[in-house]
Structure formats: structure tokens, C-alpha cells
Structure 1
Amino acid sequence: MRFARLRTPLAAIVAALSLSGCFGFGWGGGGFASVSEKECLMRAMYFESIRSSRDGMLAVGTVVMNRVQDDRYPSSICGVVGQKNQFAQGVLTRPMSETRSVALASEVADSIIRGQRHHGVRQAQHFHTAGLRFPYDNMFYVLEAGGNEFYEKRNPRTGVLAYFP
């Protein structure tokens, strides 16, 4: 009888978590449904770009996909977006409240999942707020879009893409 009282609150908690996007045990393991992958991508684009900019959303989505393709990152969209300290705080939990921007993020996410990429992003796996510049020799800036500066990490002597920790 005491378990019957626990089932309803527990079911409500599990349902709420599953609707919050990218629900799973461990972000890097993959295995998320395609709808959840789309929502994770939408959330990254929504919170990391100027929400009215398709170009900016596409650029952020391209970075996410560049990371998914790299063995050093998780192999799923939700795994990449859910990595600690990589995207905006609360990216997977905060509400997306601007209806037009959510619709745009949904449309852009569909395009990215079908294979579209922002060609200006190239192989970039990193970005930060536009207007900031850092003096590191390995940061090769390739694009400014949606309020962000996108860059590739390259070997400063050879200019070849390099992977630094």
C-alpha cells in the first residue's frame, strides 16, 4: 500500500524530466530518440545565438554537428549539448518562451538534421560572444554570426587544424 502513494509522484517526476529535453542517464551515451535530439539542437541554437537570426542558429547548430562527428566529443547531439560548461547554463532546462524564435529553431534544426551546414563555420568547434577577441595564437576566426565569433583551433606555426586540450 505504501508503494501506491509513491507511484504517482514518481511518475510525475519522470514525465516532467522526459519532457524537459534530452532525458537520459549519462549525456555521452547516445540512445536518445530523434525528437529529443532535435530538441537538444533547438535549445543550443535558441540559447546560444541571437534568437531572430537564422544565420546564427545555423552556425551554432553546425558547431554542434562538428563536435558530434569528432571522436573527442559525445556521439549524439544531446551528449554534446549536455556537456558540462560547454553551452549556456541551463540550456537543457530553461524554458524557451519566444514563440517565433522556437519556431525558427525548429525549422533550422530540421535543416541541420537533414544535412545542411553553415559553410562559413568550416570545421570550427568553438565560439564565443562577438566583440571579444583573445590573443591566443591557435584561435583562427572563421565567422561572425548571430552574436558569436566562431573559430577553429589551429597549430600557430603551420596553420593546420590542431587539437589542443
Structure 2
Amino acid sequence: MPFEIAGQSFPGSAFYYLDQPPQPVFDIDELRVAEGTLDAEKLTEKFGAGATARAFMSAGTGIDKARALKCLSMAVYYEAASESQSGQEAVAQVVLNRVAHPAYPSSICGVVFQGSERKTGCQFTFTCDGSLNRQPSRAGWARAQSVALAALSGNVFAPIGLATHYHTHAVNPYWASSLDLIGSIGAHRFYRWKGNAGRAAAFTNAYAGREPLALPNPREASPLPASAGAGTTDLFSPLPETGAPQVAEPRASTEAPRGGNAPLQSGDVKPEFRNSGRWIREPGAAKPATE
């Protein structure tokens, strides 16, 4: 968020940002009419989605609500900006369904950015494939934010019921056969868990309103490569006998000593400070006769 980024804010700027909560630019019902989208009741009958989700109950501080709105808007925009009104509402509903299911984080940003610390394995592809580097269009973002605001205000998109998964028609993920297909909207196919895990009684998570930062999770640390290249030392190469890590001994410098007037290089210590780390007198040693 702008007020959470160093260098782009000032103390107390969050109060100015949150003083006027965002308002929907587009009316959801008007968009449905304009697109000629099937109304939710008919679409629900067509899909046979079964039980529908409970209306989302907003909670938390103003900052938590702002983060929730941004994360849900990003999911709608980057996953479904080119989809119909129903397609965008369906994506928003999947995110909220996951928040309510104990198999997933209980925050909106936690659900959206789950697995984003990995190059592969993120739950929503846009969080780890570089899509966030693409600036949203103003009109597209306004529409996505309007959908997100409606969902966070209690609007339930009934046609997909309790769906927690979706994918595009262009792929066939390994998990698709293990779930119950609900139906397709635009480019996406929607699924729910099989058995009890997909029934309303399983959606027991209560939203507490504590939202993490609206950012991808930090990348996991990568192990050092086996060989760092010419002129460097592998600090963690295994010993042939034990496989234990060995720490490389520092190499003696092969450079000729420089004269007193030679410029200092990176890592050098000025002559007057070279003994600064030595004891003046070792602890317990006898005092010199002159003291």
C-alpha cells in the first residue's frame, strides 16, 4: 500500500489514505444488464452448484480492510480482467470461499499470495510469474475494484456455490479429476471439493480481519551453487569421506605488498587501526613493572 512503502509516505499518511474509503465506480447489477449476463438464479440452476457461501462479514482495522480490498482487487484483475462480469465475480467468490475453508489461510491476502514465495506452486499464477510488474489499466482496475468491493460488502455470487478451485480451458491440471466440476464461465472451469470437504458444514473458518501486507511472500533462500565459478571458493562442498560441510580456509594474498602511499583497496585497514582488535594486556597476565 502507498502508505506502507518507505519513501512514499510520511508519518500519519495512512489516516489521509483511509479517511475516504474507496467507492465502487461501477454498479454490479448495471454491468450484468449491460453485458446481457445470465442472472445468478438461472446460472445456478444450470450449474447445479448446490449450497452457496455465506455473505462475507468484514472485520479488522481500516488498514486491514484496505489490504483486503487491494488483494481481492488484484486477484480479480490479474486473473479475470478480460472475463465477463460473472467471470470476475466468480473469481472473487473463490477467494472468499477459500478464506472460509480450514484448508487455506483465514485472510484474503493470505489466500491470494499463498505459495507466492516459490517460482512454481503459487495458488494464483499472477503472484509468482511476474504479472504484478504490469501496471493495471485504469478502467480495468476500477471494474475489478468494484467487484471486490461488492464481494467484501456481502454480495454472494451463487452460481459457483462453494467452489474453491478453477483453471482455464487451456490447461488440464492433475487435481481436476479429484474434484467435482461445477461448470464453466468464460475461460474458466470451476470446481469444489468432493464429499464432506466441499459441503457447507466444512467452511468453518471465521474471518478475524487480520491481513498481512498486500505483497508476494519473500522468496525462499536458495542453496549456494556447487561451483561459484573461477576465482571463488565453494564454502559448503561435502567432504568425500563424511559428506559433512567443509569450510574453506582463507587464501593468502598473492599481491605484492603496497607501499605506504599506495591507495587503500576494498577490505584494507588503515595502518593506525590494524592493532585495534588486540588486547593491550591479556587478562590475568602480570602487570608490567612500569605500571
| TM-score after normalising by structure 1 | 0.69
**Residues 50 and 146 of structure 1 are in contact (CA less than 8 Å); yes or no, is this contact kept in structure 2?**
no
**Residues 81 and 144 of structure 2 are in contact (CA less than 8 Å); yes or no, is this contact kept in structure 1?**
no
Which of residues 73, 77, 86 is equivalent to 2:123?
86
Aligned to 1:20: none
**Residues 79 and 126 of structure 2 are in contact (CA less than 8 Å); yes or no, is this contact kept in structure 1?**
no
Aligned to 2:74: 43
Q: CA deviation at 1:146?
A: 4.0
SS across alignment from 1:150? strand
Structure with greater Cα Rg? 2
- Tell me whether 1:117 sits opposite 2:112 in the alignment: no
The whole-number CA distance in structure 1 between the counterparts of 2:98 and 2:73 is 16
Indicate the percent of aligned positions where both proteins have the same amino acid: 29
- Tell me whether 1:147 sits opposite 2:187 in the alignment: yes
The structure richer in strand per residue is 1
SS across alignment from 2:151? helix
Question: Matched residue pairs, number?
Answer: 138
Q: CA deviation at 1:107?
A: 0.7
Which of residues 136, 161, 164 is equivalent to 2:198?
161
Aligned to 2:55: none
**Residues 50 and 147 of structure 1 are in contact (CA less than 8 Å); yes or no, is this contact kept in structure 2?**
no
Aligned-pair RMSD on alpha carbons? 3.1
Equivalent AA in structure 1 for residue 92 of structure 2: G
1:52-90 Cα shifts (integer Å, max 9, x gaps): 522111000000000001122111111100101100233
CA distance 1:113–1:96, change in 2 (3 Å): farther
CA distance 1:71–1:37, change in 2 (3 Å): same
| TM-score after normalising by structure 2 | 0.41
The structure richer in helix per residue is 1
Equivalent AA in structure 2 for residue 140 of structure 1: D
CA distance 1:141–1:131, change in 2 (3 Å): farther
**Residues 168 and 188 of structure 2 are in contact (CA less than 8 Å); yes or no, is this contact kept in structure 1?**
yes
- Tell me whether 1:11 sits opposite 2:6 in the alignment: yes
**Residues 141 and 149 of structure 1 are in contact (CA less than 8 Å); yes or no, is this contact kept in structure 2?**
yes
Q: CA deviation at 1:115?
A: 1.2
CA distance 1:129–1:35, change in 2 (3 Å): same
The whole-number CA distance in structure 2 between the counterparts of 1:134 and 1:93 is 23
CA distance 1:150–1:14, change in 2 (3 Å): farther
SS across alignment from 2:167? strand
CA distance 1:113–1:153, change in 2 (3 Å): same
* Structure 1: 4+ residue segments shifted above 6 A: none
Question: Structure 2 unaligned runs (5+)?
Answer: 11-59, 116-121, 203-291
- Tell me whether 1:98 sits opposite 2:133 in the alignment: no
Q: CA deviation at 1:48?
A: 1.0
